[in-house]
């Protein structure tokens, strides 16, 4: 017990030392001015809630949202149709209004692709990606939504530990099932802001907080689009959050192949909890940080954009901040 306690205390001390030193370095990255070209190039995404496919939202709601999608230069939307059952299957009864929604949406926004957003929090004794039969049912669910008329499938599994081979197997099987014409995308966790940081965190908490850049590359190589969830960061102050997102953007740009569309998640929701200070994680700070991170490239990257989370909580002020901070910055 004494030996174990010493190991735990040492790990906690290591995390604190790295956190303090890293925090200073991270905050320093949220400085300077982004380059003029570091802005939207028309390839952005929006997460959309379940109300669009279960009958709660109709034409009036679409009429209100469509102009914002157009003004935001949003080319892809991820519409929630899940969650998956604990065995990996998807109940089609969860999205009875999908056909009607897709028809109305495509009439209003014919150039915007619509992917079905499916997922489930992966918890002990619950949805298990390492189980062969569970993965088979998830793949069947992906085929199910593509057959229902969606342009592709957008996975969102949380948490998935760093270097989990089961996710790679799932993505390979999904691609084989839905083919190359259907879009395959996924939301992914944040990347280690400092190499090796995930190990002491996992030692103390038993969970992976971050992915390595190497694992992100392996996942991205199997996708058409990858969306980094650059929010719920546990950064307590605006400067730290801004620097963290700058760092996330630069690391993701290095890790994600250029033929894969990289999307950086932008928060537009009110949640206030242990891993999110809404006064720090603002739409304004996020978009400026992404522009600063993108400015590290010598020239614009074609397959790059942002993904706004989420339509049903985004306020008019947040939409305006997104427009002014990313789409048409001064």
- Tell me the per-residue pLDDT of 102-156, one tens digit each, with 9 for 90 and over: 999 999 999 999 999 999 876 656 789 999 999 999 999 999 999 999 999 999 9
- Strand pairing partners for 113? 76
Pull the structure tokens for residue 290.
């992404």
Among left, alpha and beta (phi > 0; psi -120 to 50; other), residue 32 is: left
End-to-end Cα, the chain, rounded Å: 59
Superfamily of domain 42-327: Glycosidases (3.20.20.80)
Q: Phi and psi for 106 in degrees, rounded to 5?
A: -70, -25
Residues 121, 158 contacting (CB under 8 angstroms):
yes
**What does the pLDDT look like over 270-326, one tens digit per residue?**
999 999 999 999 999 999 999 999 999 999 999 999 999 999 999 999 999 999 999
Beta-strand relationship, 113-121 and 304-309: unpaired
The residue extents of the domains of the chain are 42-327
Residues 35, 297 contacting (CB under 8 angstroms):
no
What is the reported pLDDT for 244?
A: 96
Residues 246, 210 contacting (CB under 8 angstroms):
no
Confidence of residue 201 (pLDDT cuts 50, 70, 90): low
Residue with tokens 């057959």: 147
Residues 139, 166 contacting (CB under 8 angstroms):
no
d(CA 202, CA 257) in angstroms, rounded, equals: 27
């Amino acid at each position: 017990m004494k030996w174990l306690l010493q190991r735990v205390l040492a790990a906690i001390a290591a995390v604190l030392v790295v956190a303090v030193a890293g925090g200073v370095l991270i905050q320093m990255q949220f400085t300077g001015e982004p380059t003029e070209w570091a802005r939207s190039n028309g390839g952005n995404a929006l997460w959309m809630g379940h109300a669009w496919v279960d009958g709660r939202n109709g034409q009036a709601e679409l009429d209100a949202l469509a102009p914002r999608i157009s003004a935001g230069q949003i080319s892809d939307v991820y519409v929630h149709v899940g969650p998956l059952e604990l065995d990996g299957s998807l109940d089609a009864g969860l999205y009875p209004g999908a056909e009607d929604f897709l028809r109305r949406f495509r009439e209003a926004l014919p150039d915007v692709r619509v992917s079905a957003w499916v997922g489930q929090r992966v918890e002990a004794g619950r949805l298990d990606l390492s189980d062969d039969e569970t993965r088979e049912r998830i793949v069947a669910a992906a085929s199910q939504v593509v057959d229902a008329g969606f342009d592709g499938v957008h996975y969102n599994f949380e948490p998935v530990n760093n270097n989990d081979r089961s996710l790679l197997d799932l993505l390979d099987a999904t691609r084989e099932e839905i083919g190359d014409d259907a879009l395959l995308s996924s939301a992914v966790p944040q990347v280690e802001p400092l190499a090796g940081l995930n190990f002491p965190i996992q030692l103390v908490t038993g969970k992976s907080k971050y992915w390595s850049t190497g694992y992100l590359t392996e996942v991205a190589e199997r996708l058409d689009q990858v969306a980094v969830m650059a929010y719920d960061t546990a950064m307590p102050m605006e400067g730290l959050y801004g620097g963290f997102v700058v760092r996330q953007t630069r690391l993701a740009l290095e890790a994600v192949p250029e033929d894969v569309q990289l999307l950086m998640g932008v928060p537009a929701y009110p949640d206030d909890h242990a891993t999110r200070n809404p006064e720090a994680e603002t739409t304004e700070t996020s978009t400026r940080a992404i522009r600063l991170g993108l400015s590290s490239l010598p020239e614009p990257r074609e397959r790059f954009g942002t993904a706004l989370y989420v339509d049903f909580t985004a306020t008019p002020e947040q939409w305006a901040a997104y427009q002014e901070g990313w789409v048409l910055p001064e």
